[in-house]
Amino acid sequence: MRPGPGQGLAPLGRVLHSGRPVPKSPLLSHPSPDSPVAWRGGAAISRNAFLAHARQLAERMPPGRHYLAHCADRYRFAVTLAAGLMTGRTALLPSTFNASVAEQLRAFSGDVFVVTDDPGVDSELPLLRFSEDVPAPDEDLPVPDIPHEHAVAWVFTSGSTGAPVPHCKTWGKLVLNVQTECGELGLGRDTPFAVLATVPPQHMYGFETTVLMPLLCGGLLVAERPFFPADICDRLAALPHPRVLVTTPFHLRTLLEADIAVPAADLLVSATAPLDSALAARSEQAFACRLLEIYGSTETSQLASRRTLDGPAWTLFPGIRLVQRDGACWASGGHVEQEMPLGDIIELDDPRHFRLCGRNGDLVNVAGKRSSLGYLNAQLLAIDGVRDGAFFLPPDEDDIGRPAALVVAPGMSVQEVLAALRQRIDPVFLPRPVIQLDMLPRNATGKLPREVCQTLLARHRGQSPA
């Protein structure tokens, strides 16, 4: 017999811990059964309908304690997450899913199964197909309370700086995290805010800001994840106010360069890479609203925010502490599960404010001169005619530290790109080689995993098959 909601794996009843009740928080913050929780296909979905869908899926789940929510539809992802929470299960959230990742997940947890809304997906792992056939509930369903100590998910790093590494996220810390974020973004609970996103729900940024924040702060989660600029604008224009667009610098740049009419929003949120002030100014003007950036990582969750146009300083979320120690900056406090070193070079202004000075792995040292990949990327993208591009460092044995570059610049030759770069950077940092592409193979959050860059470099040099 398969475990149903609240039974089998980890009952969610009253659990005593050292004689005291275990702290819990509700799965949803929406006040009534009819309160809208999500927006899908142009219509609102009520709290009661969402809970009915989650309960039905929970009853169909196989016995495994770990599951992968392979759902492109954000509403279906949220329903799967809720079903897992109802039954005490833990999600595995890699940044992508393929045969190799499936093998890694099976090695991580032998009982893992996959919940998917893709009819074409095939996997060696047990599959549970998502079902839309859910009868309307004939009663008001209670919102379950989830123990704070419950392991909600193992979230895997993206691999942009090396092999993916899992990090555990517990319910109590996630609740504190997103409720703090909601306050820092200036989003109140009196009027439900609709959250449209160009990032996937499986990534930590998307998981926190586009799934958990609406669920736990009275917002409306938007099911669709548009990619093309016109689709993003159409989806945003169809949403009620207040409406929030959660995105990345890459997606913002692509949208604004499409030169199409942009609907007004009430807030823009960006993360995954620092945003330059010129793009921030264009974005605020186009969408007629503020743009706020979020700083964080898979390891720490979100830590700070800033309005890009107010200056370079970031403001830490309440309760978060940064300390410099052993050549690194360490984050702790608040919702951070355990003290963690940051992957960035941090300059502390005071206990609540800091500046980013590049990533630890970004330092470029050529012929005794130093720069950073972040600075070089900014100069490359500022060239008229360059649509996209990125510097990266070849393997250690290659070319005494000189960077290489991937470039999308239709109508420009390599020589023209290099000539334009020569006007902006010290010639010792000119990339060798410059690899021209029709499109950079960025992942769903706009990042370029290190292994992808190295593969492209090897192919360019004829070291592997095309």
In angstroms, the CA 31 to CA 55 distance is 19
pLDDT of residue 101 exceeding 60: yes
Residue 5's pLDDT is 36
Dihedral sign for Cα atoms in the order 30, 65, 113, 173? positive
Residue of higher predicted confidence among 189 and 192: 192
Residue 464 pLDDT exceeds 60: no
- Written as six digits, the tokens of 204 are 């930590």
What's the pLDDT at 159? 57
Rounded CA separation 328/260 (Å): 44
Query: Contact 77/40 with Cβ under 8 angstroms?
Result: no
Answer whether 0.85 is exceeded by the pTM.
Answer: no
How buried is residue 161: exposed, middle or buried, by Cβ count under 10 Å (0-12/13-18/19+)?
middle
- pLDDT on residue 8: 37
Reported as a pLDDT band with limits 50, 70 and 90, residue 3 is very low
Percentages (nearest 5) of helix, strand, coil residues in the chain: 30, 25, 45
What does the pLDDT average to over 454-464? 82
Nearest alpha-carbon partner for 236 in 256, 263, 215: 263
Give the DSSP letter of residue 66.
E
Distance CA 12, CA 84 (A): 12
> What pLDDT does residue 13 have?
37
pLDDT digits (tens, 9 = 90+) for 232-256: 999 999 999 999 999 999 899 999 9
The confidence band for 4, taking pLDDT boundaries of 50, 70 and 90, is very low
In the chain, pLDDT over 90 holds for what percent of residues?
68
Cα gap 390→381, rounded to integer Å: 8
Average pLDDT over residues 116-137: 85
Q: What is the model's pLDDT at position 119?
A: 85
Contacts of 135-138 with C-beta under 8 Å, sequence gap 24+, read 135/52, 136/49, 136/52, 137/48, 137/49, 137/51, 137/52
User: Where are the strands (E) in 22-74, listed by range?
Assistant: 24-26, 36-40, 43-46, 66-70
**Which pLDDT belongs to residue 426?**
86
pLDDT in tens, 320-364: 999 999 888 999 999 999 999 998 889 999 999 999 987 776 778
Q: Find the length of the chain.
A: 466
pLDDT digits (tens, 9 = 90+) for 15-30: 445 567 889 999 999 9
Q: pLDDT class for 206, splitting at 50, 70, 90?
A: very high
Superfamily in which the 16-357 domain is placed by CATH: ANL, N-terminal domain (3.40.50.12780)
Most confident segment among 149-163, 223-237, 420-434, 448-462: 223-237
**Model confidence band, residue 368 (pLDDT cutoffs 50, 70, 90):** low
pLDDT of residue 2: 33
Q: Is the pLDDT confidence value at 1 over 50?
A: no
pLDDT score, position 7: 34
- CA–CA dist 362, 358 (Å, integer): 6
pLDDT of residue 409: 95
Band of pLDDT at residue 49, cut at 50, 70 and 90 = very high
66-70 and 113-116: which strand pairing? parallel
Note the pLDDT of residue 10. 41
Instruction: Identify which has the larger pLDDT, 150 or 429.
Output: 150
367-460: which CATH architecture?
A: 2-Layer Sandwich (3.30)
Average pLDDT over residues 182-193: 87
Can you tell me the distance from the alpha carbon of 330 to that of 297, in angstroms, rounded to the nearest whole number? 12
Minimum mean pLDDT range among 12-16, 150-154, 281-285, 294-298: 12-16
Q: How many CB atoms lie within 10 A of CB 316?
A: 22
Write out the E strands in 109-264: 113-116, 127-129, 145-147, 151-156, 166-170, 194-197, 220-222, 243-247
Distance CA 78, CA 28 (A): 11
pLDDT tens-digit profile of 385-419?
999 999 998 876 444 568 999 999 999 999 999 99
> Which residues neighbour 332 within 8 Å (Cβ) at sequence distance 6 or greater?
320, 321, 323, 338, 339, 340
Contact 383, 424 (CB under 8 A): yes
Q: What is the mean pLDDT of residues 177-196?
A: 91
Query: Taking the domains of the chain in order of start, what are their residue ranges?
Result: 16-357, 367-460
3-state secondary structure of 34: coil
Q: What is the DSSP letter of 252?
A: H
Predicted confidence at residue 123, as pLDDT, reads: 82
The whole-number pLDDT of residue 400 equals 56
pLDDT at position 12 is 39
Closest by CA position to 400, among listed 435, 367, 360: 367
- What is the average per-residue pLDDT within 27-47? 96
